[in-house]
């Protein structure tokens, strides 16, 4: 009692400036939960946190308290709100249980919403609640996926997005890890004149032309195209979008042609900022500056950014890179052309290099000239066909000081290009690493990666990776202190007993885990008994907020009953802490 009174009195004596300095190390939800309502002075001190609230990665009991006792009182002040389903998958549904029919009453000053890790159906439910919010104009969406998209299809979701909040939205921005949309004929005859800024992934070139038709007041669009398609048959009747000032076009796998690109540029006569990152097979017109300039001759560009990966089916050695660069001299900006004869690949790009999201073959990514161009800009990098030794990636990332996410697609057949020691500086922004495909990984090089990335906390790896990690004491210690988010992919070749055994060891090591998911690959044989076998080890992870198993089949009998009660009766989990349980779309989730 004396201790708690002393702590309270000491806290109240601290000046506002020091209290706010402490709050900088907490999330907005933690600040509200910890200080709101203690007394009028503390509530006033943290009032700045009422404006921008993030509801993400919270313990279940804390979430309930914030929704029932805090948000109804501070909602009038909230101008931006972040709702995250990340790792839990059910938070948005429970949030709507509290606020769905009174969003406009509780949050009348809301201007911007951010959704994280929503699936298509949970997003539709939330969009239905966005009615009559007078100031809400923008929505950002991160890691949005379509794992349980219903028969209405993505075109219905697009319609709801474009018309949400009584057609008041003017900005809708998806990130690069979200659902891939197609624009169906069901909405191609509608017009959404409210949308001015848009960023999203789509399937085909035809979808882009559809968007340009139904969004006649677009000012800026960033779009990634994921599949091959031809130019629409009605291209000659498609109207231009005179309002469009900025286009960023990315495409990582389809083979582009000169004519396909021309079909787009003809529809945006007033574009001022144009950025294009595409791939092509054998269409030399896209590496010929003189022919390319014909595409842009009627445009009044202020900025032009270009990155082309050109695959030559004959031989790249027959192509003169100096001649290619010289053909672009009338653009009055620097171009660089790199050849990779081994892969018959040519990379052509403008300098400075501005593209921050890259998918690169390992041999191209290692080119020193190219590294000097892209390293300072890249934030999300996917490398494919790299060695399981991981040594190859160090020459690639050694200058990538801004990198935030690294996706490594390893191939055991690839021989490391160099085993020389490379001096590595710190990568302070690297927080997430995905390492797939490869049953064995050189743990010594993984240790080096952990050491140069002091803020790395999120790992997505395969099961064999974890097995190797458990045998390295030094890495286990780094893992214990650093990794809070872990996603493990389990192949069909690993039996259930081995999985449970490794998890029993892992939970004694990874005691800092907050979010822990297992993903069972196709046809993996596991049952609800596997869930119970794993649950008994979770209390070792004292910080755990959520746990899940993806693609596990639970019997219809159990689903029709009370899964929460079943867990209470067959485990000691409630002695650990209260929890919420959900089973939707073959995903079992616990939220503590």
- 504 pLDDT band, cuts 50/70/90, is very high
pLDDT tens digits for range 21-38: 989 999 999 999 999 988
Cβ distance 388 to 438 under 8 Å? yes
Distance between CA atoms of 215 and 238, rounded to whole angstroms?
12
By percentage, how much of the chain surpasses pLDDT 70? 92
CA distance 590 to 583: 9
At residue 50 the predicted structure's pLDDT band, cuts being 50, 70 and 90, is: very high
Write down the pLDDT at residue 4.
41
Residue pair 333/353 in contact by the 8 Å Cβ criterion: no
Higher per-residue confidence, 18 vs 276: 276
Which helix (H) or strand (E) is 503 found in, with range?
helix 496-509
Of 12-26, 106-120, 175-189, give the range with the top mean pLDDT: 106-120
CB 97 within 8 A of CB 122: no
Taking CA atoms, 102 is separated from 53, 116, 131, 366, in Å, by 18, 22, 9, 54
- CA 529/CA 185 separation, integer angstroms: 46
Q: How far is CA 588 from the centre of its chain?
A: 22
Looking at residue 375, what is its pLDDT?
93
- 236 by Cβ neighbours in 10 Å (0-12 / 13-18 / 19+) ranks as exposed
Q: Which of 263, 201, 255, 262 is nearest to 228 (CA)?
A: 255
pLDDT of 473 > 60? The answer is yes
- Residue whose structure tokens are 């075109």: 155
Can you tell me the distance from the alpha carbon of 584 to that of 40, in angstroms, rounded to the nearest whole number? 43
Which of these ranges, 41-55, 308-322, 507-521, has the smallest mean pLDDT?
308-322
Q: What is the per-residue pLDDT for 257?
A: 94
Q: Dig out the tokens for 279 from the structure.
A: 């791939």
Structural domain of 312: 201-220+230-351
Write down the mean pLDDT value for the chain.
89
465 pLDDT band, cuts 50/70/90, is: confident
Q: What's the full length of the chain, in residues? A: 592
Is the separation of the CB atoms in 80 and 51 below 8 Å? yes
| Contacting residues for 158 by C-beta, under 8 A, at least 6 apart | 181, 183, 187
pLDDT grade for 317, boundaries at 50, 70 and 90: low
For 219, the token pair is 């000012």
Residue range 197-210: mean pLDDT, rounded: 94
| Whether the predicted pLDDT of 281 surpasses 50 | yes
- The closest alpha carbon to 131, from 102, 94, 111, belongs to 102
What's the number of CA atoms in the CB half-sphere (13 Å) around residue 164? 26
In tens, the pLDDT along 85-94 reads: 876 678 999 9
CA distance 90 to 583: 10
Can you tell me the mean pLDDT for 60-73? 94
Residue 165 lies in a domain: no
User: Pairing mode, if any, of strands 303-311 and 345-351?
Assistant: antiparallel
* Structural domain count, the chain: 1
User: In this structure, what token pair is assigned to residue 384?
Assistant: 């494919």
Nearest to 223 by CA among 278, 164, 292: 278
Q: What is the mean pLDDT of residues 460-466?
A: 90
User: What are the tens digits of pLDDT across the range 539-580?
Assistant: 999 899 999 999 998 988 888 888 888 998 888 876 767 888
290 within a domain of the structure (yes/no): yes
Q: What is the pLDDT of residue 170?
A: 98
Residue 1: predicted pLDDT:
33
Strands 197-202 vs 458-462: parallel, antiparallel or unpaired: unpaired
| First-to-final CA distance of the chain | 28
What does the pLDDT look like over 216-266, one tens digit per residue? 999 999 999 998 878 888 888 889 999 999 999 999 877 899 999 999 999
pLDDT in tens, 412-462: 777 666 555 677 789 999 999 998 766 567 788 888 888 899 999 999 999
> Do 101 and 72 meet the contact criterion of CB atoms below 8 Å apart?
no
Distances (CA, A) of 586 to 120, 550, 556: 16, 6, 11
Measured N-to-C along each axis, helices 205-214 and 258-265 cross at an angle, to the nearest 10 degrees, of: 10
Q: Has residue 570 been placed in a domain?
A: no
CA distance 571 to 536: 7
Q: Is 182 in contact with 205 (CB distance < 8 Å)?
A: no
The two three-digit tokens of residue 271, written as one number: 């574009």
Q: What is residue 148's predicted lDDT score, i.e. its pLDDT?
A: 43
Question: Is residue 247 situated within a structural domain?
Answer: yes
Residue 208 belongs to a domain: yes
Instruction: Quote the radius of gyration of the chain (alpha carbons, Å).
Output: 26
Comparing CA positions, the residue from 233, 249, 246 lying closest to residue 286 is: 249
Express as a percent the part of the chain with pLDDT over 90: 59
Q: Which helix (H) or strand (E) holds 446?
A: helix 443-452
């Amino acid at each position: 009692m004396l201790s708690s009174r002393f702590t309270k009195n000491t806290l109240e004596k601290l000046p506002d400036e020091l209290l706010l300095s402490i709050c900088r190390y907490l999330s907005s939800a933690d600040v509200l939960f910890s200080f709101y309502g203690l007394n009028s002075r503390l509530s006033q001190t943290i009032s700045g946190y009422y404006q921008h609230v993030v509801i993400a990665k919270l313990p279940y009991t804390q979430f309930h308290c914030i929704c029932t006792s805090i948000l109804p009182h501070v909602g009038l002040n909230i101008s931006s709100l972040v709702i995250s389903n990340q790792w839990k998958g059910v938070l948005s549904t429970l949030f709507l249980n509290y606020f769905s029919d009174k969003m406009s009453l509780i949050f009348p000053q809301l201007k911007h919403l951010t959704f994280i890790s929503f699936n298509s159906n949970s997003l539709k439910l939330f969009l239905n609640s966005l009615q009559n919010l007078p100031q809400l104009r923008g929505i950002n969406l991160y890691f949005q996926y379509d794992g349980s998209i219903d028969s209405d299809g993505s075109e219905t979701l697009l319609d709801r997005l474009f018309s949400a909040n009584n057609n008041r939205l003017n900005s809708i921005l998806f990130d690069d890890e979200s659902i891939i949309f197609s624009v169906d004929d069901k909405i191609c005859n509608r017009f959404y004149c409210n949308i001015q800024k848009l960023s999203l992934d789509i399937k085909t070139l035809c979808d882009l032309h559809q968007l340009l038709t139904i969004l006649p007041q677009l000012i800026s669009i960033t779009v990634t195209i994921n599949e091959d398609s031809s130019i629409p048959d009605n291209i000659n009747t498609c109207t231009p979008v005179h309002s469009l000032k900025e286009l960023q076009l990315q495409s990582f796998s389809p083979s582009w042609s000169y004519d396909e690109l021309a079909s787009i540029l003809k529809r945006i006569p007033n574009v001022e900022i144009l950025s294009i990152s595409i791939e092509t097979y054998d269409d030399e017109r896209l590496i010929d500056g003189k022919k390319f300039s014909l595409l842009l001759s009627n445009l009044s560009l202020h900025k032009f950014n270009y990155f082309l990966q050109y695959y030559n089916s004959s031989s790249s050695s027959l192509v003169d890179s100096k001649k290619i660069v010289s053909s672009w001299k009338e653009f009055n900006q620097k171009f660089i052309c790199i050849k990779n004869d081994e892969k018959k690949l040519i990379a052509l790009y403008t300098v400075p290099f501005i593209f921050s999201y890259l998918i690169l073959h390992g041999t191209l990514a290692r080119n020193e000239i190219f590294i000097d161009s892209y390293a300072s800009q890249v934030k999300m990098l996917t490398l494919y066909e790299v060695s399981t030794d991981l040594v190859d990636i160090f020459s690639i990332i050694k200058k990538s000081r801004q990198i935030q996410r690294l996706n490594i697609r390893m191939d055991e057949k690839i021989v490391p290009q160099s085993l020389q020691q490379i001096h590595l500086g710190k990568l302070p922004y690297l927080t997430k690493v995905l390492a797939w495909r490869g049953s064995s990984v050189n743990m010594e090089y993984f240790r080096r990666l952990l050491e140069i990335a002091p803020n790395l906390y999120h790992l997505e790896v395969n099961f064999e990776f974890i097995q190797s990690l458990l045998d390295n004491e030094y890495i286990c210690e780094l893992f214990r202190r650093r990794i809070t988010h872990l996603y493990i992919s389990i192949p069909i070749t690993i039996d259930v007993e081995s999985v449970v055994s490794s998890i029993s060891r892992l939970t004694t090591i990874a005691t800092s885990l907050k979010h822990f998911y297992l993903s069972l690959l196709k046809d993996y044989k596991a049952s609800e008994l596997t869930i119970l076998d794993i649950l008994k080890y979770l209390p070792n992870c004292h910080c755990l907020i959520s746990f899940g198993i993806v693609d596990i089949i639970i019997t219809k009998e159990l689903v029709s009953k009370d899964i929460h009660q079943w867990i209470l009766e067959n485990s000691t989990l409630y002695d650990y802490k209260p929890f919420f349980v959900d089973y939707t779309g073959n995903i079992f989730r616990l939220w503590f």
